[in-house]
């Protein structure tokens, strides 16, 4: 092994990618982005652990946990918490594996999913996840507002009514939180630490309060300290008001959504790869234990129903109705017929009553709700900004702009604020919570699936530093999340997935210009290799024959008509490879060829041509074509048909060029290829037009850049369109072109694009002159199945016997004039010398030997002129020149005579292997 110092190279690479915002190909994922000075970065405790704990210890801990255990009982309540912890733990393990596989930049869950599964999944879940965080702000703020309204109610200070007071207080609160968030991450982090201290004191206060002997007032409200009888009575479920296990779980589950709070600010962490796994998993453990401990303490000390009336006592020894409260000296039987305000089932402020010092719980509730709301208010814009920066949804790019040293998403904050206010107006926590549960479960499902998918793909790029994960456990987590979604609320889950599928399809259709090396690409590659190997083990069958084309176009954009016609009968049917031969010395042509590979493949994708680009460099065109014929494709995905254009300049071209062109056809038949040749009277090569257009665009952009520099860059964006038109006009004036040349150019452009348009009603005329295995019939049939050709009817002409074709003297004279420059008159005085020097010329004996075949081409052209002059496309069986018997120029003369002055014509010849079957 040889080790080379790469310091300089890496620095150079880092410099080159530093300006990227991640919206395009991130080839160097291992190089962290360079940061500007003064940027605030957090460690794993302050950035992840504290943030996750504060978000998990949210609104549910103090104002809904007692209600959950009252409805579900201690037994099923534990299941609710454990199930939530299982889901979050598996997701945490999957997230840890993903985020330790490479640099984690801003965007949290969106970044993890998009870089793992690709922009289609990432883009769809990114919007949903950002929206869920925005709605979570509303949920936590409503929880805070409920607590404030309860205090107002106790002091008879309700402003309007309970519901409207929640709305008013909620809106005021979210404005204050927005101010803290906009002030920057540093202020937000300081606020979080203060809130954490208050929250920890409040939790300890709950545990302390359960050991303080209950007062008469607390007993009347259902608190009796630790009683085994209370634990036993509360162990079984008692679902009321239409609640079920899963509806209760749906209301509680948002408490578990805080596990992504640290990952959501991944761009603001010093070392996200180390911080996210450590902080997230430790936060899940601490908060899971806390929830269980608090829930068990409260449900072992408080009964389900209580009146709050100290006079509802009974004399000891009185016959009771079997309830624990009756045994403890209180008669709360009226709660069976009347609404009671206290107890686990009725009082959302049970924690305040149980605690040692009530105001501390109120402060803890404020701390829990506000910290969670603040975390979500920061998370949603950060995730949304990362999504918008990637420009997957171009209409949302407005929200990508950041401000300040931390690149704060001010526009995203405002959008989140608007969404939060809209949901605050609902003013019902139990309505908002299930909405969030669905969105977060969908996000968790995709995080787990991302980990499974990346592991399953077995890509060499999947090398997570975090080893404590299992691909099958991740898959189980994904399935569990999906199942829980549907069990909680099947129609809400269905809406979530329909929305996700819609966004997925949208991104798939738009095809954003990004390449993140996703596991989807890796699996596609693995499947392609496996399917190709499987296919190679299956024998050929005539029913499954597909035309798979090697198209000699040169650069694809130089002969678009040739590529279009080939694409028409291979799209969704078979393979299409557009190929180019670079002729010349290897050192020079290699540079040109390598530069063209990605450019031409991108052009094919841009033009939506399902074709591959292949190129070779050789000393001659024929050698290069021979290499392509032998080496193109892999396994059964190998071309079987050569497609090329008619050599229109064969009369003026160099002799070697004509011999090379005809030789390629001979090579194709030798390698058992079929052959398809396209002739259009106007010609196929538009490379000079394309080059002129590119030169004009380049000159225009240079001129614009020059003008913008002269103007100091002011108003450049505003004036660019106007200036570009002026520059293009000035450039076009300097292109030397006569009126006649302009008309020729116009006709050539129209002819080159004719197969890109929908063909009107007309015919595809097939002149089937030889049995070549059926390729001459199969290709026109495939064309008629295409949308562009579906209005064309196929007409088949069968040739008569050669003895019935009469020679036309005028046409025969015209043919002789055509080949006159290439004739060798053997009877002349210097005939033997000419034959020695010009062995490629057409001899008298050769012309006499193939006189009947020559006459056939001339006569066929007459028939084509008479019967197919108005056809949209003519397909004719290609005549074959026996190698060594027919000179190359005579053969070209046959092709020319056969196809001259006709609509677009395809000459087709199969390799005499049957491609048609009569049995299906």
244 burial via Cβ count (<10 Å: 0-12, 13-18, 19+): middle
pLDDT of residue 167: 92
Interval 530-562: pLDDT, tens: 888 887 777 677 777 888 889 998 888 888 888
Please determine, for residue 426, whether its predicted confidence score (pLDDT) is greater than 70: yes
pLDDT of residue 748: 84
Which of 306, 140, 107, 125 is CA-nearest to residue 218? 306
Interval 198-253: pLDDT, tens: 888 989 999 999 998 888 888 888 899 888 989 998 999 988 888 889 888 888 88
Interval 561-589: pLDDT, tens: 888 888 888 877 778 899 999 998 888 88
Name every residue whose Cβ is closer than 8 Å to that of residue 308 and which is 6 or more positions away in sequence: 220, 221, 340, 341, 342
CB atoms within 10 A of CB 201: 15
pLDDT of residue 74: 93
Question: For the chain, first and last CA: distance in Å?
Answer: 59
CB atoms within 10 A of CB 645: 20
Report which of residues 7 and 677 the model is more confident about: 677
Please determine, for residue 20, whether its predicted confidence score (pLDDT) is greater than 60: no
Please determine, for residue 725, whether its predicted confidence score (pLDDT) is greater than 60: no
For residue 732, name the pLDDT band (cuts at 50, 70, 90).
Answer: very low
Tokens of 710: 């002269």
For residue 642, name the pLDDT band (cuts at 50, 70, 90).
Answer: very high
What would the mean pLDDT of 37-44 be, rounded to a whole number? 67
Q: DSSP 3-state assignment of 920? A: coil
Please determine, for residue 277, whether its predicted confidence score (pLDDT) is greater than 50: yes
pLDDT of residue 808: 52
pLDDT of residue 799: 63
Q: Residue 773 in contact with residue 913, Cβ under 8 Å?
A: yes
Which of 124, 79, 76, 83 is CA-nearest to residue 237? 76
Q: How far apart are CA 599 and CA 562, in angstroms?
A: 19
For residue 188, name the pLDDT band (cuts at 50, 70, 90).
Answer: low
The total number of residues written for the chain in this structure: 920
Question: Sign of torsion, CA 537 538 539 540?
Answer: negative
Classify residue 131 by its DSSP letter. H
Q: How far apart are CA 366 and CA 362, in angstroms?
A: 6
What would the mean pLDDT of 20-48 be, rounded to a whole number? 56
pLDDT of residue 738: 65
212 burial via Cβ count (<10 Å: 0-12, 13-18, 19+): middle
Q: How far apart are CA 869 and CA 795, in angstroms?
A: 13
pLDDT of residue 40: 62
pLDDT of residue 13: 35
Q: How far apart are CA 890 and CA 884, in angstroms?
A: 12
Tokens of 674: 């079929």
> DSSP H helical segments within 556-651, as ranges?
560-570, 586-606, 621-631
Q: DSSP 3-state assignment of 137? A: helix
Report which of residues 475 and 683 the model is more confident about: 475
Which range has the worst mean pLDDT, 251-265, 408-422, 629-643, 705-719?
705-719
Q: How far apart are CA 782 and CA 75, in angstroms?
A: 66
Q: How far apart are CA 388 and CA 396, in angstroms?
A: 6
For residue 3, name the pLDDT band (cuts at 50, 70, 90).
Answer: very low
What does the mean pLDDT of the chain come to? 80
Classify residue 519 by its DSSP letter. H
pLDDT of residue 86: 93
For residue 698, name the pLDDT band (cuts at 50, 70, 90).
Answer: confident
Interval 816-845: pLDDT, tens: 777 777 777 665 555 555 555 566 677 777
pLDDT of residue 809: 55
pLDDT of residue 689: 82
Please determine, for residue 352, whether its predicted confidence score (pLDDT) is greater than 70: yes
pLDDT of residue 32: 47
Residue % of the chain over a pLDDT of 70: 85
Please determine, for residue 186, whether its predicted confidence score (pLDDT) is greater than 90: no
pLDDT of residue 737: 59
What would the mean pLDDT of 671-688 be, rounded to a whole number? 89
For residue 285, name the pLDDT band (cuts at 50, 70, 90).
Answer: very high
Q: Which helix (H) or strand (E) holds 617?
A: strand 612-618
Q: Residue 633 in contact with residue 639, Cβ under 8 Å?
A: yes
Q: Residue 444 in contact with residue 87, Cβ under 8 Å?
A: yes
Interval 878-911: pLDDT, tens: 998 888 788 888 899 999 999 999 999 999 998 8
For residue 17, name the pLDDT band (cuts at 50, 70, 90).
Answer: very low
What would the mean pLDDT of 489-515 be, rounded to a whole number? 82
Please determine, for residue 474, whether its predicted confidence score (pLDDT) is greater than 90: yes
Q: What angle do CA 608, 614, 618 make, to 5 degrees?
A: 150
Residue % of the chain over a pLDDT of 90: 18
Please determine, for residue 338, whether its predicted confidence score (pLDDT) is greater than 90: no
What would the mean pLDDT of 257-283 be, rounded to a whole number? 81
Please determine, for residue 9, whether its predicted confidence score (pLDDT) is greater than 60: no
Question: Sign of torsion, CA 151 155 158 162?
Answer: positive
Cross-strand bridge partners of residue 613: 578
pLDDT of residue 709: 62
> DSSP H helical segments within 459-545, as ranges?
471-488, 490-510, 519-536
Q: How far apart are CA 112 and CA 122, in angstroms?
A: 8
Q: How far apart are CA 21 and CA 390, in angstroms?
A: 7
Please determine, for residue 695, whether its predicted confidence score (pLDDT) is greater than 80: no
Please determine, for residue 27, whether its predicted confidence score (pLDDT) is greater than 50: no
> How far from 540 is each of 400, 437, 547, CA to CA, in Å?
54, 53, 13
């Amino acid at each position: 092994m040889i080790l080379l110092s790469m310091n300089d190279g890496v620095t150079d690479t880092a410099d080159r990618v530093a300006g990227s915002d991640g919206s395009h190909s991130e080839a160097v994922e291992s190089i962290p982005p360079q940061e500007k000075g003064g940027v605030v970065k957090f460690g794993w405790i302050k950035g992840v652990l504290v943030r996750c704990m504060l978000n998990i210890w949210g609104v549910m801990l103090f104002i809904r946990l007692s209600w959950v255990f009252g409805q579900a009982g201690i037994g099923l309540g534990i299941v609710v918490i454990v199930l939530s912890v299982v889901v979050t733990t598996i997701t945490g393990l999957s997230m840890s594996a993903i985020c330790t596989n490479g640099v984690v930049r801003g965007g949290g869950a969106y970044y993890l999913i998009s870089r793992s599964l690709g922009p289609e999944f990432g883009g769809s879940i990114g919007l949903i996840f950002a929206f869920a965080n925005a709605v979570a702000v509303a949920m936590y703020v409503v929880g805070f507002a409920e607590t404030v309204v309860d205090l107002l109610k106790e002091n008879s200070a309700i402003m309007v009514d309970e519901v409207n007071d929640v709305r008013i207080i909620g809106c005021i609160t979210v404005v204050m939180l927005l101010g803290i968030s906009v002030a920057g991450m540093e202020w937000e982090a300081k606020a979080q630490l203060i809130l954490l201290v208050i929250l920890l004191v409040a939790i300890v206060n709950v545990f302390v309060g359960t050991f303080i002997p209950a007062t008469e007032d607390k007993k009347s409200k259902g608190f009796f300290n630790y009683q085994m009888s209370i634990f036993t009575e509360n162990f079984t479920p008692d679902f009321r008001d239409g609640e079920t296990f899963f509806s209760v779980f749906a209301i509680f589950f948002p408490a578990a959504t805080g596990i992504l709070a640290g990952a959501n600010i991944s761009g603001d962490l010093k070392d996200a790869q180390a911080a996210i796994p450590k902080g997230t998993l430790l936060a899940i453990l601490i908060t899971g234990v806390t929830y269980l401990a608090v829930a068990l303490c409260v449900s072992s000390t408080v009964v389900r129903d209580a009146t709050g009336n100290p006079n509802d006592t009974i004399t000891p020894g009185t016959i009771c109705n079997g309830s624990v409260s009756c045994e403890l000296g209180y008669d709360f039987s009226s709660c069976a017929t009347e609404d009671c305000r206290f107890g686990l089932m009725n009082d959302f402020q049970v924690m305040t009553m149980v605690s040692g010092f009530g105001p501390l719980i109120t402060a803890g509730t404020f701390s829990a709700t506000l910290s969670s709301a603040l975390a979500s208010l920061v998370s949603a814009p950060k995730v949304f900004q990362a999504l918008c920066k990637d420009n997957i949804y171009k209409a949302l790019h407005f929200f990508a702009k950041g401000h300040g040293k931390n690149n704060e998403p001010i526009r995203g904050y405002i959008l989140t604020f608007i969404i939060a206010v809209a949901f605050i107006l609902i003013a019902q926590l139990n309505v908002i919570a299930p909405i969030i549960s669905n969105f977060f479960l969908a996000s968790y499902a995709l995080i787990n699936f991302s980990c499974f998918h990346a592991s399953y793909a077995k890509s060499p790029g999947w090398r997570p530093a975090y080893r404590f994960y299992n691909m099958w456990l991740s898959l189980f987590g994904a399935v569990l999340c999906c199942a829980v979604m549907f069990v909680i609320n099947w129609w809400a889950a269905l809406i979530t997935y329909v929305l996700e599928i819609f966004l997925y399809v949208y991104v798939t259709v738009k095809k954003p210009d990004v390449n993140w090396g996703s596991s989807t690409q890796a699996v596609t590659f693995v499947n392609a290799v496996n399917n190709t190997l499987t296919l190679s083990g299956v024998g050929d069958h005539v029913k499954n024959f597909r035309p798979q084309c090697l198209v000699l176009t040169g650069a694809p954009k130089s002969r678009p008509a040739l590529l279009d016609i080939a694409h028409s009968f291979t799209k969704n049917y078979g393979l299409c490879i557009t190929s180019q031969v670079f002729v010349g010395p290897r050192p020079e042509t290699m540079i040109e060829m390598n530069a063209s590979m990605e450019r031409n493949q991108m052009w094919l994708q841009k033009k939506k041509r399902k074709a591959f680009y292949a190129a070779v460099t050789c000393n001659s065109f024929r050698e290069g074509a021979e290499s392509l014929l032998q080496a193109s494709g892999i396994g059964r995905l190998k071309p079987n048909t050569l497609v090329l254009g008619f050599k229109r300049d064969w009369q003026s071209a160099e002799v070697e060029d004509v011999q090379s062109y005809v030789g390629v056809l001979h090579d194709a038949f030798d390698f058992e290829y079929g052959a398809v040749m396209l002739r259009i009277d106007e010609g196929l090569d538009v490379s000079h037009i394309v080059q002129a257009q590119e030169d004009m665009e380049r000159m225009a952009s240079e001129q614009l850049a020059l003008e913008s520099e002269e103007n100091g860059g002011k108003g450049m964006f505003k004036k660019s369109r106007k200036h570009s038109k002026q520059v293009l006009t000035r450039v076009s004036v300097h292109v030397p072109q006569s009126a006649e040349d302009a008309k020729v150019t116009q006709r050539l452009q129209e002819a080159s694009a004719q197969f890109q348009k929908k063909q009107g009603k007309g015919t595809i005329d097939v002149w089937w002159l030889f049995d070549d295995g059926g390729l001459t019939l199969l290709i026109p049939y495939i064309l008629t199945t295409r949308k562009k050709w579906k209005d064309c009817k196929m007409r088949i002409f069968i040739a008569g016997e050669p003895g019935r074709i009469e020679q036309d003297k005028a046409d025969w004279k015209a043919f002789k004039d055509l080949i006159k420059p290439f004739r060798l008159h053997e009877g002349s005085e210097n005939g033997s010398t000419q034959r020695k020097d010009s062995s490629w010329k057409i001899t008298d004996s050769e012309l006499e030997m193939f006189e009947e075949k020559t006459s056939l081409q001339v006569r066929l052209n007459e028939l084509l002129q008479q019967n197919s002059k108005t056809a949209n496309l003519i397909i004719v069986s290609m005549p074959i020149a026996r190698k060594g018997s027919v000179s190359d120029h005579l053969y070209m003369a046959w092709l020319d005579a056969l196809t001259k002055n006709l609509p677009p014509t395809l000459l087709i010849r199969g390799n005499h292997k049957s491609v048609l079957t009569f049995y299906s």
